[in-house]
Structure 1
Amino acid sequence: MKELLAEIDNLKEQLNRLRYIQGEKVAKAFEMEYTYESNRIEGNTLTLQETVLVIEKGLTISGKSLHEHLEAINHSFALNYIKELVSEKAPLTKHELLNIDKLILQGVDNSNGGKFRTVQVLISGAKHIPPQPFMVDELMEGFFKWYYDNKDSIHPVILAAEIHERLVTIHPFIDGNGRTSRLLMNLILLQHGYPIAILKGDSENRLKYYQVLEIAQMDGDNEPFIEMVALNVKEILLRILQVLNFNI
């Protein structure tokens, strides 16, 4: 892991030297891909091109549900929100977390969006059973305490991955936990100058994603999950550098 993190930080330094020529179109393309893949993990069937058309052109895609359209639009709004938090150097608090989930569920489930759940939930196909609702408030207090105790002492990529895993394991919301957890992960990465991690939503990668999450949740071993996130960050850095070097 130390070698992988060193590689990531070396690539980040290379990116920092080229960042001044990084066009808005390049960043937007990766953001659209991120929205597409994050929703795809949750079962959204919009293609990447359709996702772009819905968000940028406001088009309605024939044969796709309103729910899927809203998921694309809402994720784009939530991504813009975390970018604003980064630019404003806003601290991560319960307020910001609730706002992210509220944006994700806007028009989809307004009654539950941005609120901690008060009922028990189950995750289809998963062995992990989220904690009882009466435990959520206390667990989330512990979540934020862990974050503030560790945010300045562990590598940002590890911090981002752990925050993702810890939040999705608590599963504090009725819906939107996966997307909110990935947005929170990327908020931390962006705060530290890393690009967004784009976890893939195709069948093979989605299965691996859930498998390493389950290992963390059931066996208490989060190293495979952290490694998966770190490898993804490395891959994204390499892709961005390839594009930027090509455009020089």
Structure 2
Amino acid sequence: MGALHSLESKPQLRRNNRIRSIHSSLKIEANSLSLGQVREVIAGRNVIGDRKDIQEVKNAYAAYEMLNEINPCSIADLLKLHEVLTRYTVDESGAFRKGEEGVFSGDRCIFMAPPARLVPQLMESLFVWMDEARETVHPLILSAVFHYEFVFIHPFADGNGRMARLWHTAILAQWKPVFAYIPLENQIEKFQEDYYRAIAECHKAGSSDLFIEFMLEQTDRILDEISMSADEEEVASEYVKKLLSVMEYGVPYTASAIMQKLHLKSKETFRKHYMNPAIALGMVEMSVPDKPTSRNQRYIRKR
């Protein structure tokens, strides 16, 4: 966990991971914005895109920024965060659904959520269980069970998947604060089909065991990835420092111009050791983020 705790002293890495979390969780729900566009929206810059998708990014960022302020065992806090997460995008924001909800594959209903009249009672029971179980159930298990049960109850008219993943993170962050900056959502997005398959199988079996196994495996994978990234960052840091030393803030540079300043001839070395790590750390941005190989591409130092 040493590499993970290093996130506490690296605010830029924490911010980058949070942006990854937001982008992936929204992408799972068909938000069309790219990672670069999500980064630009969060930075307060104008982005050309669907208005609802842009608002969802703003909402998600505001909700994730509140993780340290909430009590994961509070239904009132759950409703408050749902209002933030769905502000200006849905009618029933910050309130349990009034109508019936189902999950469809094309025109075929593959899962019907419990009746709306039962939602308040089911959610109350889930939160009471969680409050009692957290004394004896490991947080990694507790968060996975809550995630599955929440999806099963489907308490909101919209935003259930985003809220389930957000609350999963909130439970883990209460256990170890560093989890607020671990992009578990990114790992789920990579295995999205398996994610939905595990949920569907659990619906059939009437047990959350398979989903727990899935989430434990993905948590283990993302922790390994973060640890390796932290190690790689230590190696890359000297290259990034050299790169930044030849770039002025806010000035757009071509790759050729930067390579000339660094006395580099290999484009592969430039991308792998210098530019890609700097972009990943959010220290340099591309002028055309959606087209990395564009002939009009320029690189701009942000920090």
* TM-score past 0.5 threshold: yes
Shift of residue 192, structure 1, vs aligned partner: 1.0
Larger mean CA deviation between 191-200 and 72-81 belongs to: 191-200
* 2:220 paired with 1:220: no
* 2:73 paired with 1:92: yes
The one-letter amino acid paired with 1:214 is A
Corresponding residue to 2:14 among 9, 16, 27 = 27
CA RMSD of aligned residues (A): 1.9
Contact 1:74 1:106 in 2 (8 A): yes
Corresponding residue to 1:46 among 33, 44, 67 = 33
1:187 maps to 170
Larger mean CA deviation between 72-81 and 224-233 belongs to: 224-233
Corresponding residue to 1:108 among 80, 85, 89 = 89
Shift of residue 198, structure 1, vs aligned partner: 2.1
Q: Alpha-carbon deviations, 1:165-223, whole Å to 9, x = none?
A: 11111011110011011110000111111523224465x72211111011112212322
Identify, as 1 or 2, the structure richer in helix. Answer: 1
* 2:223 paired with 1:237: yes
Shift of residue 29, structure 1, vs aligned partner: 0.8
1:99-248 equivalence runs, <5 A:
99-109=80-90, 111-125=91-105, 127-193=110-176, 195=179, 196=182, 197-200=184-187, 205-248=191-234
2:276 maps to none
Task: Give the percent of matched residue pairs that are identical in Structure 1 and Structure 2.
Answer: 26
Secondary structure in 2 matching 1:128 = strand
Distance 2:102 2:94 in 1: 19
Q: Alpha-carbon deviations, 1:41-76, whole Å to 9, x = none?
A: 101111111111111133222xx2111101111111
Q: Pick 1 or 2: higher relative contact order, CA cutoff 8 A, min separation 6.
A: 1
Distance 1:201 1:181 in 2: 12
The one-letter amino acid paired with 1:68 is D
The one-letter amino acid paired with 1:71 is E
Distance 1:228 1:98, change over 3 A: same
Q: How many correspondences in the alignment?
A: 227
Distance 1:198 1:141 in 2: 26
Contact 1:128 1:218 in 2 (8 A): no
Corresponding residue to 2:52 among 67, 71, 76 = 67
Distance 2:126 2:135 in 1: 15
The one-letter amino acid paired with 2:39 is V
Contact 2:32 2:53 in 1 (8 A): yes
Secondary structure in 2 matching 1:198 = helix
2:4 maps to 15
Corresponding residue to 1:76 among 33, 56, 61 = 61
Distance 2:104 2:32 in 1: 18
Contact 2:41 2:54 in 1 (8 A): yes
Shift of residue 247, structure 1, vs aligned partner: 4.0
Shift of residue 136, structure 1, vs aligned partner: 0.7
Identify, as 1 or 2, the structure richer in strand. Answer: 2
Distance 1:209 1:199, change over 3 A: farther
Q: Alpha-carbon deviations, 1:97-133, whole Å to 9, x = none?
A: 0011111110112x31110111111222262210111
Gaps of 5+ in 2: 235-303
After TM superposition, the score normalised by the length of structure 2 is 0.70
